[in-house]
């Protein structure tokens, strides 16, 4: 549970002044981002609680650091936005969810 809470904190600390055209972080591939997006979409597009975050980690198999890097990347790329307690994916199927 602590793992997921730290992930959510990392997302919130990522900042909201992102811009398009972000390069992928070291150690993160386009396939990793796609897998993460699928997991978040499967979870309902928003991660608000530790309980919400656990399935993302389990489905992707990514460690906390990689999850934080991907969530930060998506925020900076304009594909997600912070919420009161976590984040919401705003691209793909989740754009209109």
All domains in the chain, ordered by first residue = 2-14+27-96 (1.10.10)
Tokens representing 10 are 């990392």
Residues facing 82 on adjacent strands: 87
Please, what is the end-to-end C-alpha distance for the chain in angstroms? 26
Alpha-carbon gap, residue 32 to 29, rounded angstroms: 5
Q: What pLDDT is attached to residue 18? A: 37
pTM: 0.76
pLDDT tens, residue by residue, 14-44: 443 334 567 899 999 999 999 999 999 999 9
């Amino acid at each position: 549970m602590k793992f997921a809470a730290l992930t959510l904190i990392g997302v919130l600390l990522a900042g909201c002044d992102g811009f398009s055209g972000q390069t992928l972080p070291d150690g993160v591939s386009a396939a990793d981002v796609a897998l993460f997006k699928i997991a978040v979409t499967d979870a309902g597009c928003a991660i608000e609680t530790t309980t919400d975050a656990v399935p993302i980690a389990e489905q992707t198999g990514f460690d906390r650091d990689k999850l934080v890097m991907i969530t930060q990347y998506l925020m900076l790329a304009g594909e997600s936005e912070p919420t009161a307690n976590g984040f919401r994916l705003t691209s793909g199927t989740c754009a209109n969810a």
